[in-house]
Structures are given as C-alpha cells and as structure tokens.
Amino acid sequence: MPLDIPDPLADLQKIPWLKALDSPGWEELLAATQLRSYTPGEVIALEGDPPKTFFVINQGWVKAVKFSPEGREQILDFFGPGRPINIAPVFAEQPLPVTLVALEASTLWTIPQSILLALLEHYPAMARLVIRALAGRLLYTVSLIEDLSLRSVTARLAKLLLMQAPQQAAIPRQRWATQAEIAARLGTVPDVANRALRSLADEGLIRVDRRQIVILDYDGLAAKAQL
C-alpha cells in the first residue's frame, strides 16, 4: 500500500460488528475497500439512491440531512472520523432515506454492499452484531422524534451539548458548525438557536468561546435537557 494512503484497518477495526470476522474475512473485506475524497459541500449520496456502497469516514465530517419541498434542512446526525454513515440502508437493502453531504474536505472508505452481504452470510456472529447496531440506530431515531415533538429548542440544545461532551467539559467548535447548521440540527431557525445558546450561557450552564463551548454545570444542563 502506498505510503500516502492510510491503512483502512485502523478505521474498520473500530466497527463492532466487523470484529466477528476472521483473517480470511478481513482479507476479503480489505481487498474491496477503497478511499474516496470529497470537497466541502459535496453530496456523497442523495436521498433515494440505491445503497450500493457502504461508507466509513477516514477524515472529515459528514451530515445526514432531510430536505423539505421548500428546501428547509433537518439535520438528523453528524458523523466524524471512524463512523459508518449508512449502515441501515446497506443491510436493509433499501434506498437511502437521507442525503449525505461533506461538511469539510473529507476522505471516506468505501466498501461494496455486495461484499458486506456476502460476509453476512458466512459469519452468523457478524449478523447478530449488525442487528444490535441497527437496533441502536432505531432507538436513536425514536429519541430524535421525541426531542422534536416534546422538548423545547433550549432543552434540545442542552441535550445535544451533553451528548457531544459525555466525559469532557469542553466541546471544540468545528469550522462548519455555523448557527445555520446548529439550527438545522435542532429543527429550528438560526435566530431561535442563537437565543437558546445565549440563554444557557446567561444561566451559567455553559461558556461560549470562539473555539469551544465549555460546560460549567453538568447537572444544571442535564436538568435543562429534561434528562
């Protein structure tokens, strides 16, 4: 493998359900894995596309987004390095339910769907772990629906901040994390998202710096998030 191309094994070994593979399985998987590059704002896959390719992020960030007929965005998730981004449609063999967009210059590992489905046939332990992963995504979606339906924008923002910093007090502010992106994640408009951010800061729960958001009061933020 050329020196300027990273080793896919380092990223793929982080995926729990791939740990069920033995040496021949890994050899088959790695032989089919390729690296693709995307520019900021480039569409990786469109909603409705057939899931012929499985994506795992090597570098960069990607968003999964739904668009209304009027063009309004609802961001369902952000994905960073080491994360797979389309497990459900690949294994359900169903069209992609969201559009995937690169938020910054990104490189993604690509694996043909046919390879993963063949491995699934040969490794029952992998199938069980895939079911667990799909169940986790289902529970995440249910939680997202609950948030949009029952929590205020401020509560949704508080919960999002806690999810991003479960073990650290500071959350780095990504260059692409504009007010518009944050608002789309929260299911609101930038002005409302900005007011919610200021509200949490005014209550002494967080401190907003140029490069990071610092959580000052975990318990207070959890109460605000209605957890």
Residue 138 pLDDT:
86
Q: What is the pLDDT of residues 44-81, one digit of tens each?
A: 999 999 999 999 999 999 999 998 888 788 898 899 99
Q: What is the pLDDT of residues 80-90, one digit of tens each?
A: 999 999 999 99
Average pLDDT over residues 102-107: 96
Average pLDDT over residues 158-185: 83
Domains of the chain: 8-148 (2.60.120.10), 153-224 (1.10.10.10)
List the alpha helices (DSSP H) in the chain.
8-12, 23-32, 87-92, 113-122, 124-150, 153-164, 179-186, 190-202, 218-224
- 84 beta partners: 56
Of the chain, the percentage scoring pLDDT greater than 90 comes to: 69
- 106-112 sheet: strands from edge to edge: 34-38, 106-112, 53-59
Average per-residue pLDDT for the chain: 91
Residues in the chain: 227
Residue 179 above 90 pLDDT? no
Residue 166 above 70 pLDDT? no
pLDDT confidence of 1, banded at 50, 70, 90? very low
Contact 29, 85 (CB under 8 A): no
Q: What is the DSSP string of 125-136?
A: HHHHHHHHHHHH
Average pLDDT over residues 8-28: 95
- 206-208 sheet: strands from edge to edge: 170-172, 212-215, 206-208
Residue 3 above 60 pLDDT? no
Q: What's the burial of 102, exposed, middle or buried (CB within 10 Å: 0-12/13-18/19+)?
A: buried
Tell me the whole-structure pTM to 2 decimals: 0.78
